[in-house]
Amino acid sequence: AVLIDGLIPKLFSPEHLEDRKADVEEAKRIGYQTSPEGAIAALRAMKERPDRNQVLEDAALPILLVAGEQDQLIPADKTFSVTKENITRALIKDVGHMSMMESPDQLIAELSPFLQRCADRSGRA
């Protein structure tokens, strides 16, 4: 419970801890359902995750990188550490790591045109 109570609020923008309280509590509820073994494995995987910048550098497909302006866990400069023509960056204003909960409309506004461009390029629009 200490891990969940300490980590989950950091996923959200400090501004949204009150006005998105139901989302914060839902995220905590999900976290509480995680077994101790599962939580340890997830933390270990995050700690030991290798740098994936080379994957981004080698990729030829369109890539959308999304970062929350107020993400306390993964700062935008870390998310946007690779610059290439096929990489689109989306910085979601006033959100933390949970843009899908904090501001789904802003997230959709970034996802939709990117997905449309991908569909147009593939001829499947």
Q: Are 35 and 59 in contact (CB under 8 A)?
A: no
Percent of the chain with pLDDT strictly greater than 90: 89
Burial-class residue 65 by CB neighbours within 10 Å (0-12, 13-18, 19+): middle
Calpha distance 96→82 (Å, rounded): 21
For residue 98, what are the contacts with CB-CB under 8 A and spacing of at least 6? Answer: 11, 12, 23, 27, 68
Mean pLDDT for the stretch of residues 11-26: 95
Contacts 24+ apart (CB under 8 A), 116-125: 117/62, 118/62, 121/62
Domain hosting 11: range is 2-122
The CATH number of the domain holding residue 64 is: 3.40.50.1820
Query: What's the domain count of the chain?
Result: 1
> How confident is residue 3, by pLDDT bands cut at 50, 70 and 90?
confident
